[in-house]
Amino acid sequence: MGRVLVTGGSGFLAGWCLAALDAAGWETVATVRAPDREAGLRERLAAAGVRDPAATGVRVADLTRDEGWAEAVAGCDFVLHVASPFGGSEPDSEAELIAAARDGTLRVLRAAAAGKVRRVVLTSSFAAVGYGHPEREAPFTEADWTRVDQPDVAPYIRSKAVAERAAWDFMAGAGGMELSVINPVGIFGPVLGQDFASSIDIIRRMLEGAMPAAPRTYFGLVDVRDVADLHLRAMVHPSAAGERFLAVAGEPLSMLEVAAILREGLGPAGARAPAAELPDAVVHDLARTSPEMARLAAQLGRRRRASAAKAREVLGWRSRPNAGIVLDTARSLFAHGGIAPGDGKAEAP
């Protein structure tokens, strides 16, 4: 088959990408930021069902440094660039955040081009597609780009758009190497331990009773296993070269709709999910002193729809339904995410 490098191997999505590659018979190599992350990577591979976690090669390479990347890509036919340079904590300044996202992406692409990699699949985000636009009913597609010059576009969102633009600009002089880009909405699904995507923290907080009422915000969902599958399809499909693909399961859900799925689908174990919506006026009041609530206030009532028609039609991709994604996420948090169901007041489903 061939050899595939997955960057950020100890991460949530990267773990599922490595598991999917293993199941398909590919030889795999993964990068970690530091040697002490290797043990966690192998534990996550075992949790994901990888037959021999020790068979995955591990290379130390940090997105903020040049060292290690030439060795990481050596002998690889493909690269899935999944890693984020932030490692759970974003830089203090917007300029630093954007530079880290852009420069980390370019660092991997330069190493891949020098190493004669055939194709890189870059994990971007819906953040690079659907922000800075006026309200609209039509779903966003791969032809859309976030308008980074708009004042309501948050620094993190701006960084994702800038980094992806930089990747496409780089490819203009990359010789024979190809690029495909995956733009997922919020990634949910089974966790492989207590280090998981920030989007899943929404469900964790609901299950733990830390969200008494739900702000009137909406977001798209997609299962991590389906995003991994889309990466593999984009890696090998001839028609994926030079293309972007949105990854989304269905219509956006409100936080209250997610909570209702938990309450109805889990019974007593989901009883602490919020049953009421937080009034907009309260959110705006809290936004005066809370940066988190200020970010939420800017998104109240915004329902950004996205279309996965291109991934379905070109790559034959299919996704799990929203309700199943929410419930699978919750059940995995009880099993692997360190959450006690109902704090002893309810049994795990």
Other Cβ atoms within 10 Å of 2 Cβ, number: 14
Average confidence score pLDDT of the chain: 92
**Phi, psi of 80, deg, nearest 5:** -100, 105
Strands 244-247 and 27-32: unpaired
Residues in the chain: 349
Q: Is the separation of the CB atoms in 226 and 320 below 8 Å?
A: yes
Which candidate, 9, 103, 99, places its Cα nearest to that of 65?
A: 103
Predicted local distance difference test score (pLDDT) of residue 93 = 79
| Distances from the Cα of 171 to the Cα of 62, 84, 110, angstroms | 22, 20, 10
The residues that bridge with 121 in the sheet, in sequence order, are: 80, 180
Over 60: is that where the pLDDT of 68 sits? yes
Q: What is the mean pLDDT of residues 207-216?
A: 93
Helix, coil or strand: residue 22: helix
Q: How many domains does the chain have?
A: 1
* Residue 297 included in any domain: no
* Residue 133 included in any domain: yes
State pTM to two decimals: 0.94
Q: What is the mean pLDDT of residues 191-197?
A: 83
Predicted local distance difference test score (pLDDT) of residue 87 = 52
Q: What is the mean pLDDT of residues 231-250?
A: 98
Q: Is the separation of the CB atoms in 6 and 32 below 8 Å?
A: no
Q: Using N-to-C axis directions, what is the helix angle for 322-336 and 255-266, rounded to 10°? A: 70
Predicted local distance difference test score (pLDDT) of residue 292 = 79
Q: Is the separation of the CB atoms in 184 and 247 below 8 Å?
A: yes
Under the banding of pLDDT at 50, 70 and 90, the label for residue 295 is confident
Over 80: is that where the pLDDT of 284 sits? yes
Range of the domain at 43: 3-193+221-250+305-321
Over 70: is that where the pLDDT of 345 sits? no
| Distances from the Cα of 173 to the Cα of 93, 166, 169, 176, angstroms | 31, 12, 8, 9
Q: Is the separation of the CB atoms in 336 and 47 below 8 Å?
A: yes
Under the banding of pLDDT at 50, 70 and 90, the label for residue 91 is low
* Residue 258 included in any domain: no
Query: Sheet harboring 178-184: ordered strands across?
Result: 57-60, 27-32, 3-6, 78-81, 119-123, 178-184, 244-247
List the structure tokens of 102. 């852009």
Over 60: is that where the pLDDT of 125 sits? yes
| Distances from the Cα of 158 to the Cα of 101, 148, 229, 252, 268, angstroms | 10, 5, 27, 21, 40
Under the banding of pLDDT at 50, 70 and 90, the label for residue 90 is low
Pick 348 or 307 by higher pLDDT.
307
Over 80: is that where the pLDDT of 341 sits? no
Active site residue 345: no
Q: Is the separation of the CB atoms in 195 and 87 below 8 Å?
A: no
Give dist(CA 81, CA 234) in Å, integer: 12
Which candidate, 31, 39, 23, 60, places its Cα nearest to that of 193?
A: 39
CATH number for position 110: 3.40.50.720
Under the banding of pLDDT at 50, 70 and 90, the label for residue 348 is very low
* Residue 256 included in any domain: no
Over 60: is that where the pLDDT of 347 sits? no
Give dist(CA 285, CA 44) in Å, integer: 41
* Residue 33 included in any domain: yes
Predicted local distance difference test score (pLDDT) of residue 62 = 94
| Distances from the Cα of 25 to the Cα of 18, 184, 280, angstroms | 11, 25, 51
Using a pLDDT cut of 90, give the percent of the chain over it: 79
Q: What is the mean pLDDT of residues 4-30?
A: 96
Over 70: is that where the pLDDT of 158 sits? yes
Q: What is the mean pLDDT of residues 314-327?
A: 98
Helix (H) or strand (E) holding 324: helix 322-336
Predicted local distance difference test score (pLDDT) of residue 349 = 45
Round to the nearest angstrom and report the end-to-end CA distance of the chain.
40
Annotated active-site residue in 116, 160, 310, 345: 160
Give dist(CA 143, CA 131) in Å, integer: 13
